[in-house]
Amino acid sequence: MWDDLVSVALTGTQRQKTEISANSSSDSLNKVLSQLNTPDLEQNLLSAAAILAIYQRAGKMPSKSEAKMPEPCELDDLPVCSPKIVKILDSIFKVAFTAGLLTEFLDLLSKKGNRVPYNRLCELLSYGDSYPQFRQGISKVIGKRGQWLAEQNSSWAYARTTKLESVSPQELWQTGSKLARISLLKELRAKDPKKARELVESTWKEEAADYRFASISVFKHNLSLEDEDFLETALDDRAKDIRLEAQKLLSCLSKSKFHSRMLERLRLIVLVKVEKKKTILEINPPEKLDDKAIRDIVEVDPPNKTIGKKAWYLRKIVSSVKPTFWTDELKLPAKEVLTLISKSDWEKDIFFALPITSVNHFDPEWATLLLDWCIEKKTNLEDKTAQELFLQLSTAEKEEFLKTRLLSNKTEKFNFSHLTGRLMYSHNNSWSKDLVKETLDKALYSIHTSKSFDWSLSNLFQHIALYIPESMFEEILPLFEEEKFDPKQWKLAERAIEQFTELLKLRQKMLKEFSL
Amino acid sequence: MPIKWTVEQINALAPDDASVSAAKKLTKLSTWQTLGYDGALAWGECQGSGKDPYKTGVDLTESPAFKCSCPSQKFPCKHSLALFLLLASQENAFTQKDLPAWMVEWIEKRVKQAEQKAKREATKTANQGKPVDIEKQAKRASEREAKVKAGVQELEIWLKDIMRQGLASIQSQNYSFWDKIAARMVDAQIPGIGRMLRELAGISTSGDGWQERLLDRISRIHLLIEGYKRLETLPEDFQQDIRSFMGWTQKQEELLTQSGEQDNWLVLGQTIENDPLNYNLTIQRIWLQGQNSKKFALILNFAFSNFNNAKPLDESIETGTIIVGELIFFPSAYPLRALFKTRQTTIKADNFSWLADISEFLIYYTKAISQIPWLERLPIALENVRFSYDDKGWRLVDKDGYTLNLSETYNINFWQPLALSGGYPIKIFGEWYLDKVSLLTVYANNEFYSFNNMYR
């Protein structure tokens, strides 16, 4: 009956006449409807619609769901952190410049064996979705409830920890999702690299290229000579990306056949000669490559026209041979080699390739050497390359490096936007007291003496605040009080300083709360 | 007795976020030269950038009143807020007990102002008693009735026209088509109908089944004006309902003279939204339930503002607390709307009882709309429900497997209640509106969680 009314209402009473028929199964409804047969058709229609609509609404029956409900979460979760700690988490999220504290917060929380309360899970998981650098930390503090939640939301899948006990690796490898398989591989690679390699080999030929690429990328963890045969096969892969990855991994293995082949090539290119009592480097990259060389070099054409073919081959070969070739094989002191290279026609290309191989071979000595060289000669070095080199150093070596560089220009004002200043951002461990003091001294000197504020300091403050040892807080905070500055200088630096002290104070509060 | 204020409640009084953080900075005891509190009034002297300290006072006897000698344009200023915050956190630092002269002066001034106001009101009431004004009032009332009558006639013709031409003929009409007739109804002093018409605007483009939904809503308006035409033949309470749906407001002063219902009123949930008819009007709905009577009650507050982030009128009411007090219900065949006559104390609730499952709720719903067919929004308190999600959206499922759809219009992040529940059955409160549940509160792990402004 309702459908009839809707149909008339849609076309209009002038086209479709209607009579209200009181023929429903309900007597009381019929009784009301039967009163609606007036000559006014529109009135009848509206009244009947009103009555039927209410009749239907009043008789609404609940519908049943056939959908499968997810299994509820296990209840014996990690203990929840204290409300004070939650408050600290909220403060960290409140403004952008405190977000860096999250790493340490998550670390402290997971060491304490606590989790965040349930009503902070969504916020944290979504944050990790946007900022991957926090994902690992987040997955450790969300407890069982968070894991359970992450299993149901695909954008939080990163937080799921693969359960190795419940499913055998083989089974998971055969049936799991791409993400699950790759995270299984990473986990296995850390514990049992051989097993991980065997799993990859077992299905290698059937996998799609992006899959093969994701799998081979995992080999950088725990890479050893045992992987050589597999990587040599991968060097013949159909996909170039995979061949490049295999090349990169093989060149990290200084005892591999691949490395020997590249070393042979380099030996033919670089010769030490003495002319008129002067040592020079004679460098002759090949004009053409044989088939074997083409296989090893993978990318035969230079990426752009500014690089010639010979220069390109040189870059590829130098970056595949360990840096100690230049000292041990050529029997020259490092500094001298660098000077000789800088005098050669191929300076640009060799200095492009040396940082790459120094990083590949985890050679802190060469890393320091190259960084020093660039700082001294004021050569341009890409930040990313400089950071990679710097990361080869141990904490103590980083400290030493920065300190020496800071102290070396005692008199002149230190320019924090230069390479040393920029490298400070890659010092991501606890800073020593000496280094903090040295850095802040220089920074304060700069604020007190310059006519304009050096904005690179603002970022630097926010970075150091995350790594200053706790025992220095009381000594540092007074140095940054408003009274300690000339009002003009204060005005320039106010925002940066206030953010710095606010960050320090929040961190102080956090550390205190966790030490209880 | 003044009620104890929490930091959150005090911060809610601030005109903006900047004031909150500025006030927080001033909550150091060292910035205050003197601090005093006598149980109803708090005062202090705060050293600011000027030569003399600012003299700041808070009166807690009713809704808090502030005074400060600082030149700030903001109200309450950061000093007043800081003083209030200090009182909430460190009451024993308020050592002075005797009112200083400047506080006495302020109080006297306020008493005087209150007296003047009372006098004005008294004159007004007295004037209302005069025969001349009864006449005037009656004239005004009959003028309005005449306007309404004309408006209703116009609307009747308009509705019948639509029926004659068919809904298909107006499917492609845009908002202005509906705005026009809605505005005519506002002019005829029946804004309630105006609002109902305004809400029809989006239906014809709302997808499958629009014609059914539109006919349903139009017929509801038809029913309302039919009711109005026979007003005298209907019971008194029902008359009030029809008048209030059409847009007559009831005089709160008159209501407050009646005796109310004393109970422990649990605040179940609240929501704030803009009026569809007037975006400068913010509507706050606070849902309560008497712990003894089990009655639901709705407090409505309105605030006019030209800003989008209008401050609602009452932020002192917190979900999950119990207000002990006397409530007066507006006359209705199905009374829901109410207002507080007195509020004695506020306590934190430790549980949430009297709830229904889904089939019980639908029986309750049937009862309600058979009393008042135009009821749009009803309180819904369910227990033992779980959250379920699939490509059709979020739903509530009770222990028997019955389901209700959740409204996603407010962009609520339903992962949040799911996280709180862990997949176990929990208690929820919300509004039943257009066949969906608008979630307002979740009770889980022995806590109330509000969802009205918690979208993270």
Q: What does the pLDDT look like over B333-342, one tens digit per residue?
A: 999 999 999 9
Position B456 scores a pLDDT of 29
Q: What is the mean pLDDT of residues A209-224?
A: 91
- A242 vs A175, which has greater pLDDT? A242
Give the gyration radius of chain B's Cα atoms: 26
Q: Cβ(B282)–Cβ(B275) under 8 Å?
A: yes
Going by C-alpha positions, the residue among A432, A500, A438 that lies closest to residue A469 is A432
> Same structural domain for residues A403 and A514?
yes
Boundary-marking domain end, from A124, A159, A194? A159
For position B455, what pLDDT does the model report?
34
Q: Is residue B223 part of a domain?
A: yes
Interface mutation vs chain B, best among A2, A7, A10, A506, most B CBs within 10 Å = A10
B456 part of a folded domain: no
According to DSSP, residue B312 is labeled P
Min Cα distance A481 → chain B (Å) is 15
Distance CA B328, CA B323 (A): 14
Residue with tokens 């010769």: A271
* Cβ atoms within 10 Å of B174's Cβ, excluding its own: 10
Contact B403 A149 (CB under 8 A): no
How many structural domains is chain B composed of?
4
Nearest to B159 among A11, A46, A153 (CB): A46
pLDDT tier for residue B25 given thresholds of 50, 70 and 90: confident
- Cβ-contact B56, B47 below 8 angstroms: no
Q: Quick check: is B353 in a domain?
A: no
Mean pLDDT score of chain B, rounded to an integer? 86
Interchain pair B423, A72: CB under 8 A:
yes
Asked whether B159 and B219 are in contact (CB, 8 A), the reply is: no
Return all residues near A31 (Cβ < 8 A) that are at least 6 apart.
Answer: A22
Question: B298 pairs with which residues across the strands?
Answer: B287, B337
H-helix or E-strand spanning residue A275: strand A270-275
Averaged over B207-219, what is the pLDDT? Answer: 92
A229 and A124 in a single domain? The answer is no
> Is residue A175 very low, low, confident or very high in pLDDT (cuts 50, 70, 90)?
confident
Above 50 in pLDDT, residue B155?
A: yes
Confidence of residue A122 (pLDDT cuts 50, 70, 90): very high
- Is-contact B212 A6, C-beta < 8 A? yes
Please state the φ and ψ torsions of residue A36, each to the nearest 5 degrees. Answer: -100, 25
- The answer to whether position B55 is within a domain reads yes
pLDDT > 60? residue B2: no
Looking at residue A405, its pLDDT comes to 84
CB B343, CB B323: distance < 8 Å: yes
Query: Residue A133: which domain range?
Result: 83-159
B1 belongs to a structural domain: no
SS3 content of chain B, % helix, strand, coil (to 5): 40, 25, 30
In a domain, A43, yes or no: yes
Per-residue pLDDT tens digits for A75-120:
888 999 999 999 999 999 988 888 999 999 999 999 999 999 999 9
Q: How many Å apart are CA A143 and CA B160, to the nearest integer?
A: 62
* Same domain, residue pair B343 and B365: no
Q: What is the ipTM of this complex?
A: 0.75
A408 and A509 share one domain: yes
Q: Are residues A149 and A173 in the same domain?
A: no
- Record: contact A46-B212, CB cut-off 8 A: no
Stretch A493-501: mean pLDDT = 92
Show which of B113, B128, B159 is a domain's final residue. Answer: B113
What digits encode the pLDDT tens for the residues A124-165? 999 999 999 999 999 999 999 999 999 888 889 888 875 555
Domain end position, chosen among A199, A225, A253: A253
pLDDT tops 80 at residue B114 = no
Query: Helix %, strand %, coil % for chain A, to 5?
Result: 65, 5, 30
Partner B contacted by A123 (CB < 8 A): yes
In 3D space, the residue among A135, A89, A125, A131 whose CA is nearest the CA of residue A109 turns out to be: A89
A103 and A215 together in one domain: no
Choose among A486, A492, A436, A484: nearest CA to A461: A436
For residue A473, the model assigns a pLDDT of: 94
Tell me A117's DSSP state: -
Residues B146 and B240 in one domain: yes
Structure confidence by residue, pLDDT tens digits, A433-445 = 999 998 998 899 8
C-alpha atoms less than 13 angstroms from C-alpha of A301 in its C-beta half-sphere: 4
Residue finishing a domain among A58, A73, A94: A58
B140 and B242, same domain (yes or no): yes
Above pLDDT 90, what percent of chain A? 51
Q: pLDDT tens, A45-86? A: 999 999 999 998 888 888 887 777 888 998 888 999 999 999
pLDDT of residue A411: 57
Could you tell me if A6 lies within 8 Å of chain B, comparing CB atoms? yes
Q: Which of B172, B152, B170, B174 is nearest to B161 (CA)?
A: B170
A336 found inside a domain: no
Cα dihedral across residues A249, A255, A260, A262: positive or negative = positive
Together in a domain, B293 and B383: no
Please answer whether residues A116 and A147 qualify as being in contact, where contact means their C-beta atoms are separated by less than 8 angstroms. Answer: no
Contact between B217 and B200 under an 8 Å Cβ cutoff? The reply is yes
**pLDDT at residue A410, rounded to an integer:** 60
Residue A17 in contact with partner chain B when CB distance is under 8 A: no
pLDDT of residue A190: 86
Domain range for B70 is 7-113
Phi first, then psi: give them for residue B120, nearest 5 degrees: -55, -45
Q: How far is CA B200 from CA A55, A57, B9, B157, B278, in A?
A: 21, 18, 38, 17, 15
**Tens digit of each residue's pLDDT (9 = 90 or more) over A298-320:** 988 888 889 999 999 999 999 99
| pLDDT tens sequence across B269-326 | 998 887 766 777 888 899 999 999 999 999 998 887 655 444 556 777 889 999 999 9
CB pair distance less than 8 Å for A62 and B395: no
Q: Which has the closest alpha carbon to A234: A201, A266, A257, A274?
A: A201
Residues B167 and B218 in one domain: yes
**A313 assigned to some structural domain:** no
Q: Do A10 and B403 touch (CB under 8 A)?
A: no
Assess if residue A36 is contained within a domain.
Answer: yes
| Residue in A11, A47, A65 closest to B395 by CB | A65
The residue ranking higher by pLDDT, B451 or A257, is A257
Burial letters for A84-109: b for 16+ Cβ neighbours within 10 Å, e otherwise?
Answer: ebeebbeebbeeebbebbbebbbebb
What pLDDT sits at residue B410?
Answer: 63
> Which residue type occupies A92?
I
Structural domain includes residue B251: no
Residue A279 placed within a domain: no
Q: Give, in degrees to the nearest 5, the angle at Cα B36 between B34 and B38.
A: 170
Whether residue B381 sits in one domain with residue B429: yes
Could A72 and B424 be called an inter-chain contact, meaning their C-beta atoms sit closer than 8 Å?
Answer: yes
What tokens were used for B320?
Answer: 């999950």
Total count of domains within chain A: 4
Q: Check whether residue A416 and residue A466 sit in a common domain.
A: yes
* Rounded distance between C-alpha atoms, residue A383 and residue A364, angstroms: 17
Residue A388 covered by a domain: no
Query: Residue B62 has what pLDDT?
Result: 64
Q: How many residues belong to chain A?
A: 516
What is the H or E stretch that residue B443 is in? strand B436-444
Of residues B16 and B97, the one with the higher pLDDT is: B97
- The alpha-helical segments, DSSP class H, found in B130-229 are 131-165, 175-187, 191-198, 210-229
**Between A120 and B175, where is the model more confident?**
A120
Query: Which residues neighbour A302 within 8 Å (Cβ) at sequence distance 6 or greater?
Result: A308, A309, A311, A312
Indicate whether A326 pLDDT > 50: yes
Instruction: Locate B405 and state its tokens.
Output: 């759809």
Work out the minimum CA distance from B286 to partner chain A, whole angstroms.
23
Same domain as A437, residue A503: yes
Residue A377 is assigned to a structural domain of this protein: no
Nearest to A14 among B165, B226, B369 (CB): B165
Contacts of B400 in chain A (CB under 8 A): 64
Q: Are B336 and B384 within one domain?
A: no
pLDDT at B1 over 50: no
Q: What is the pLDDT of residue B48?
A: 74
Tell me the pLDDT band of B222, cut-offs 50, 70 and 90.
Answer: very high
Q: Please give the pLDDT value at position B39.
A: 80
Answer whether residue B123 is part of any domain.
no
The verdict on A36 and A96 lying in the same domain is no
Rounded Cα distance between A83 and B83, Å, is: 25
In a domain, A399, yes or no: yes
In percent, how much of chain A has pLDDT > 70? Answer: 98
A452 has pLDDT over 90: no
Question: Same domain for A416 and A509?
Answer: yes
Please identify among residues 38-57 of chain A the ones whose CB lies closer than 8 Å to any CB of chain B: 40-43, 45-47, 49-50, 53-54, 57
Q: Which residue has the higher pLDDT, B181 or A36?
A: B181
Which residue of chain A comes nearest to B376, CA vs CA? A57
A148 and A193 assigned to the same domain:
no
